[in-house]
């Protein structure tokens, strides 16, 4: 399944919440909605990442695909950028180099056009999700609008991974 198919689920949720809850004057409730959006965003990131690696392995060999699928049942929450670099390297240095180069190209392009870092945005959304899931709160700089931007920017890291894990 292409990453876009996973993103549709979170896109709709985040768009709806952003549109309908920005008028709330309750900081605690806004934090809860923002945390829910962070969890939703990182969940679809995880699903997309698993699908990318499983699809790659299945295209190499059916048995290898089954092995990778079993392995990824145990991989949850370990999706920081550095984790993705390590995971891509397990399939060969060629894929690690390709992924790193694609991310760097997308990073430079996004810095020029949007003046935001896709790597920082990606790392922020994963960190915010972890803080919310394990501590129940988000940092004060993680507004709903900032969270939505970070999610959109972070998608470029997943797209780079998807483009890299091709034969």
The 10s digit of each residue's pLDDT in 65-117 is: 788 888 887 767 689 999 999 999 989 999 999 999 999 999 999 999 999 99
Q: Is 23 exposed, middle or buried (0-12, 13-18, 19+ CB in 10 A)?
A: exposed
How far apart CA 46 and CA 83 sit, in angstroms, is 12
Q: What is the pLDDT of residue 165?
A: 93
How far apart CA 121 and CA 114 sit, in angstroms, is 12
Judge contact between 108 and 166, C-beta under 8 A: no
| Three-state DSSP class for residue 24 | coil
Among 95-99, 132-136, 139-143, 150-154, where is mean pLDDT lowest?
A: 139-143
Residue 29 has pLDDT above 80, yes or no: yes
Q: What is the pLDDT of residue 20?
A: 84
How far apart CA 23 and CA 35 sit, in angstroms, is 17
Judge contact between 124 and 131, C-beta under 8 A: no
Confidence of residue 148 (pLDDT cuts 50, 70, 90): very high
Question: Which residues, at least 6 apart from 25, have a Cβ–Cβ distance to it below 8 Å?
Answer: none
Residue 17 has pLDDT above 70, yes or no: yes
Q: Over pLDDT 70: what percentage of the chain?
A: 98
| Three-state DSSP class for residue 119 | helix
pTM for the full predicted model: 0.91
Q: What is the pLDDT of residue 75?
A: 66
Averaged pLDDT score across all residues of the chain: 90
């Amino acid at each position: 399944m292409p990453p876009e198919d996973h993103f549709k689920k979170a896109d709709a949720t985040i768009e709806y919440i952003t549109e309908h809850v920005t008028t709330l004057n309750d900081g605690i409730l806004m934090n809860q909605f923002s945390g829910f959006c962070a969890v939703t965003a990182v969940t679809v990131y995880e699903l997309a990442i698993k699908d990318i690696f499983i699809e790659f392995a299945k295209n190499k060999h059916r048995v290898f695909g089954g092995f990778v699928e079993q392995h990824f049942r145990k991989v949850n929450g370990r999706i920081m950028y550095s984790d993705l670099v390590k995971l891509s390297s397990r399939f060969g240095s060629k894929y690690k180099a390709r992924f790193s180069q694609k991310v760097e190209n997308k990073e430079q392009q996004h810095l020029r056009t949007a003046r935001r870092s896709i790597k920082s945005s990606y790392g922020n959304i994963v960190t915010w999700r972890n803080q919310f899931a394990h501590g129940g709160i988000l940092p004060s700089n993680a507004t709903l609008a900032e969270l939505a931007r970070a999610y959109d920017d972070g998608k470029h890291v997943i797209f780079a991974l998807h483009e890299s894990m091709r034969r």
